[in-house]
A = this chain, B = another copy of it.
Amino acid sequence: MESQNEQAAGATPSDTIHADIYDEDGVMRASFLAQVGAAIADRDTLTLKRYVDDLHQSELGDLLEALQPDQRHALVELLGTDFDFSALTEVDDTIRAEIVDSLPNEQIAQAVQELDSDDAVYILEDLDEDDQNEILSQLPFTERIRLRRSLDYPEETAGRRMQTEFVAVPPFWTIGQTIDYMREDNNLPDRFSQIFVIDPSFKLLGAIDLDQILRTKRGTKVEEVMHETRHAIPATMDQEEAAREFEQYDLLSAAVVDENERLVGVLTIDDVVDVIQQEAEEDLMRMGGVGDEELSDTVLATSRSRVPWLLVNLFTAFLAASVIGLFDRTIEHIVALAVLMPIVAGMGGNAASQTMTVTVRALATKDLDIYNAWRIIRREMGVGSINGIVFAILIGAVAALWFHDANLGGIIAAAMIINMFVAAVAGILIPLLLDRLHVDPAVASAVFVTTVTDVVGFFAFLGLATWWFGVP
């Protein structure tokens, strides 16, 4: 009973480790940073190790990100071989590159051997080829071959993300044999949730989930309880597509096979969660006109990466301006048009961006396809018409009162209906068309869509006014 109480007592306070280092908002505590900082400043390795030893790799990663650059280097240096390299998979690219570049290749080679192969690849893949080769050459043969194979698959494929450590048994073994094998083999992966069944040539025959093994009598043969691996993932499959398989079929892990259906690795849900996060982030970033930037990028790098999007928008802004230029004589006569015209263009842009956001997201999640596209197009046209009429009445009334001119109110109302309808159509058709042309709709839609709503908005409003008031 003594030991049970100890355990019980031990179960909760460990939560306080988390509470010790993070505040309620999940931000690392200043007091913890100060303690670590002091230990680093004193070059007090013992104290430092005490702080860092209990940290999860992601906590150590957060600590690295919160420290100053020189503190980071000092920490890695002071910890030496006690530094847990898997923390480097949790920090952003620039910080990882900074730390890895500052270390001698020998130290990296040694550290990499301690890591799971997927973490090792994650760290190695960003190095330049010379460093990569030098590090790989210092590894034992099998380790080297495994990492080489992963690195040979293209970036962002399942082969790059897979772990090459797995448990595989022949189909004629019994469950008892399999359990005994796992009890004795010390070379098992750190964590696994299924084991694979292969033939002598490593061809994948099936898989068994661990809970299935535990439910099965020892005498049962593996081949009797294994299930077909319906979701074996080709090593060359794009990681995003692999992530979708995981999501659709609620997988915890999946076999990765080469072009001959031979088992080469296993993809696990924790890596897939990162991919899902990344992909969702990419869509958001692309729609906002930013690329793969990192918070740690420099001013110049950030500035340069954002210029292309601004340039494209500048071009479309001049296009819209030239439409206004067509009607300069009308504006000269009726200045109220200049005051009101941004409202027509802007509201169209907002309505279009609503439709576009829904469309881009539905395309990304595959919720929008040929079976409902036509229905959704009709729906958006309906929404555009209704909201167009609602806001036409509103804006028309305000404009008429503001400038004491009912005609002006009528003209802006008419322009509003036209532009809101066009906005709805553009907001859905442009992303659909881009998707059909295999251009990422998240990147390109916004520019085209706002160009349409600006041009149509200015043209409809100023054109109608010119026609109605009869300005030359």
Q: Write out, one digit per residue, whether chain A residues 403-437 have a CB within 8 A of any chain B CB (1) or not (0).
A: 00000000000000000000000000000000000
In A4-54, which residues have CB < 8 Å from any B CB? Answer: 4, 7-8, 10-12, 14-15, 17-18, 26-28, 30, 33
Determine if A103 is an interface residue (Cβ-Cβ < 8 Å): no
Give the CA-CA distance A30 to B398 in the complex, in Å: 51
Q: A4-B205, A183-B216, A284-B357 are in contact. Are A382 and B310 (CB under 8 A)?
A: no
Is A223 at the interface (CB under 8 A from chain B)? yes
User: 1/0 per position for A212-231, CB-CB distance to B under 8 A?
Assistant: 01111100000100101110
Q: List which A349-393 residues lie within 8 A (CB) of chain B.
A: 350-351, 353-354, 356-358, 360-362, 365-372, 376, 379, 382-383, 386-387, 390-391
Question: Are A182 and B214 neighbours in the complex by a CB distance under 8 Å?
Answer: yes
Nearest chain B residue, comparing its CB with the CB of A66:
B371
Q: A122-130, A138-146, A275-283: which lies at the B interface?
A: A275-283
Judging by beta carbons under 8 Å apart, are A7 and B382 in contact? no
**Whole-angstrom distance between the Cβ of A412 and the nearest chain B Cβ:** 11
Contacts of A367 in B (CB 8 A): 65, 92, 295
**What 1/0 mask marks residues of chain A from 194 to 207 whose CB sits below 8 Å from any chain B CB?**
00010100011110
In angstroms, Cα B368 to Cα A261, docked, is 44
Q: Which residues on the B side are within 8 Å of A236 (C-beta)?
A: none
- Contact A14 B299, CB 8 Å, known A183-B214, A342-B321, A343-B317: no
Complex interface residues of chain A between 305 and 329 (CB less than 8 A to chain B): 306-307, 309-310, 313-314, 317-318, 320-322, 324-325, 328-329
Does A273 lie within 8 Å of B270, measured CB to CB?
Answer: no
Beta-carbon contact of B299 and A324 below 8 Å: no
Docked-complex contact A351 and B281, CB < 8 angstroms:
no
A18 engages B303 (CB within 8 Å):
no
Tell me if B293 and A366 are in contact (CB < 8 A). Answer: no
Beta-carbon contact of B347 and A338 below 8 Å: no
> A84 within 8 Å of B by Cβ?
no
A321: B residues at CB distance < 8 A: 339-340, 342-343
A274 to B246, CA, bound (A): 11
For A148, list chain B residues within 8 Å (CB).
none
CA A302 – CA B383 in complex, angstroms? 7
How many A residues are at the interface, by size bracket?
A: 35 or more
Which residues on B sit within 8 Å (CB–CB) of A229? 11
Residue pair A288, B290 in contact (C-beta under 8 Å): no
A331 at the interface (CB under 8 A from B): yes
Q: Are A249 and B280 in contact (CB under 8 A)?
A: no
Q: Are A3 and B368 in contact (CB under 8 A)?
A: no
B-side contacts of A276, CB under 8 Å: 273, 276-277, 280
Closest beta carbon of chain B to A159's beta carbon, Å: 18
Q: Decide: A354 and B289 in contact? CB cutoff 8 A.
A: yes
Question: 14 A-B contacts, Cβ less than 8 Å apart?
Answer: A11-B204, A11-B206, A11-B261, A56-B248, A59-B248, A183-B217, A247-B274, A252-B252, A269-B269, A288-B356, A299-B386, A303-B390, A320-B343, A321-B340
A-B interface, 9 closest residue pairs, ranked by CB to CB distance from nearest: A288-B357, A280-B280, A299-B382, A338-B338, A210-B210, A250-B270, A317-B343, A328-B335, A303-B386
Name 17 extra pairs, CB < 8 A, besides A310-B387, A324-B338.
A3-B171, A12-B261, A26-B244, A26-B366, A191-B211, A252-B252, A276-B277, A284-B360, A287-B287, A287-B288, A290-B357, A295-B372, A314-B343, A314-B394, A317-B346, A338-B338, A341-B342
